[in-house]
Amino acid sequence: MEDEQLHALMRAVLRADRILIVTGAGLSADSGLPTYRGLGGLYNGLTAEGLPIETALSGPMLRRDPALCWKYLAELGRACLGAEPNAAHRAIAELQRRKPGCWVLTQNIDGFHRRAGSPPERLIEIHGTLEPLFCQSCGQVDAGLDVHVQRPLPPRCAQCGGVLRPPVVLFEEMLPETALETLYGELREGFELGISIGTTASFPYIAEPLLLIQRAGGLIAEINPGTTALSERVDIKMKGRALDIMSQLLGHSLSE
């Protein structure tokens, strides 16, 4: 059955000119980064302060207690800085290179898609990224995340002393309008294939684009070791690691 599903996905990739790949934390798990929830989730319980991680990593917390918020931002930052894109990120970038109509919508803030070679003009980072840092008071940009995570927290602006932050969407903050406009503009153009990789698809703005593709007559596929909110609705389900499946997919489908 798995071979049948893999070959079905290969054929779909070969036929499609317009592909939307939606990625989540599971894609970067093979780089050593923890997922937020699900298998191996880092934050399934409470923080050391007895708070849900959604509270600690929220916009209101950054304003109220920047040191506490930055404790966990720095933890994420160190993990990302200490890891590298894996073969799945590189396979996606190669697919985008070969198929100019292939787009990536990612929930990940690690910047690995860019580092693996995905073209920025076809990459929608819906939750932002961890770099470059900027001052909330004066707007001064400070790219030195690697330096600041080793210093006392929260990091401060060298110009005015204001608290620095990354251009990331914290909990209880709005999604970036530009990213949403780009996403829905491309959805209006249409996609023949949508592939969900390593995401639980628990947010409506992640699941809905894929379901829109399906309702418009396109195929949707899922690559995930577990069962998600989308699993019963996809046309093709591949149960396994993104690293293994994407390497097989790229190695076979694009060489036929």
In the predicted structure, residue 40 carries a pLDDT above the cut 60: no
The boundaries of the domain holding residue 103 are 1-32+85-129+174-256
In the predicted structure, residue 135 carries a pLDDT above the cut 60: yes
Together in a domain, 119 and 209: yes
Together in a domain, 50 and 124: no
In the predicted structure, residue 64 carries a pLDDT above the cut 60: yes
Quote the mean pLDDT of the chain. Answer: 91
Together in a domain, 225 and 140: no
Together in a domain, 160 and 210: no
In the predicted structure, residue 123 carries a pLDDT above the cut 70: yes
Note the pLDDT tens digit of each residue in 175-215.
Answer: 999 999 999 999 999 999 999 999 998 889 999 999 999 99
Together in a domain, 77 and 89: no
Q: Is 89 one of the annotated active-site residues of the chain?
A: no
Quick one: pLDDT band at residue 252, thresholds 50, 70, 90? Answer: low
If you average pLDDT over residues 167-179, what whole number do you get? 96
For helices 204-215 and 177-189, angle between their N-to-C axes, nearest 10 degrees: 10
Note the pLDDT tens digit of each residue in 15-29.
Answer: 999 999 999 999 998
Together in a domain, 75 and 135: yes
pTM for the model stands at 0.92
Copy the structure tokens of residue 129.
């990224």
Alpha helices in the chain (DSSP H): 2-15, 25-28, 53-56, 59-64, 66-81, 87-98, 112-116, 145-148, 177-189, 204-215, 242-253
Note the pLDDT tens digit of each residue in 215-244.
Answer: 999 999 999 999 998 999 999 999 999 999
% residues pLDDT > 90 (the chain): 74
Alpha-carbon distance of 36 to 246, in angstroms, equals 22
Copy the structure tokens of residue 85.
């894109």
Note the pLDDT tens digit of each residue in 90-121.
Answer: 999 999 999 999 999 999 999 999 999 999 99
Is-contact 218 192, C-beta < 8 A? yes
In the predicted structure, residue 158 carries a pLDDT above the cut 50: yes
CA distances from 84 to 31, 36, 69, 113, 158 (A): 6, 18, 25, 10, 29
- pLDDT for position 41: 45
Together in a domain, 151 and 215: no
- Residue of 89, 127, 148, 252 with catalytic role: 127
